[in-house]
Amino acid sequence: MSEPAQAKVFPVSWDQFHRDARALAWRLAGAGPFEAIVCITRGGLVPAAIVARELGTRIIETVCIASYHEYTEQGELMVLKGLSPEVIKLGDGKGVLVVDDLVDTGKTATVVRNMLPNAHFATVYAKPLGRPLVDTFITEVSQDTWIYFPWDMGLSFQPPIAKGSQG
């Protein structure tokens, strides 16, 4: 999703993301057990590590899909790395947990859902267009919200929300 000029902005700190990823693990605890976690890279790497720790899952695989080629420009999806033979031998995804940071339009989730149709899909954040493709998520944001993840930001001054506000 391109960040429109009038987009809502939702910056997420490392602390907040960690809390949200742990909350995701807490919700997933009753949905398993999961034999393996497949994280959608790159955004799914951090929440997958947290969820794997919390659920005690040791088999973690990646599926690498590029959709944002110029950071804010979502383009054609490219599968850069498919599933490993170890995950493929598990079959249609039953017992597999797929983790990503965000489901936006659902295009990436659709590609992975086709690879693992019976996997349990979990994201930390969900937007309305992609929401029907995930089984578990923590926070829904509007489609016009641009999420700044902690790995996208550096430390800098943030102006007040109210324009003209005196600090």
Catalytic residue among 101, 135, 144, 152: 101
Name the active-site residue from 15, 92, 104, 152: 104
Give the pair of three-digit tokens for residue 32: 């398993």
Residue 33: asked if its preceding bond is cis (omega within 30°), the reply is yes
Q: Which of 15, 100, 144, 152 is catalytic?
A: 100
Task: Please give the full DSSP string across 133-160, using - where no structure is assigned.
Answer: G-SEEEEE--TTEEEE-GGG--------
Q: In 10 A of CB 28, how many CB atoms? A: 21
135 given a catalytic annotation: no
Rounded to an integer, what distance in angstroms lies between the CA atom of residue 71 and that of residue 13? 19
DSSP state of 28: H
DSSP characters over 118-129? TSEEEEEEE-TT
Tell me, what DSSP letter sits at residue 19? H
* Angle subtended at Cα 165 by Cα 163 and Cα 167, rounded to the nearest 5 degrees: 140
So which residues are the catalytic ones? 100-101, 104
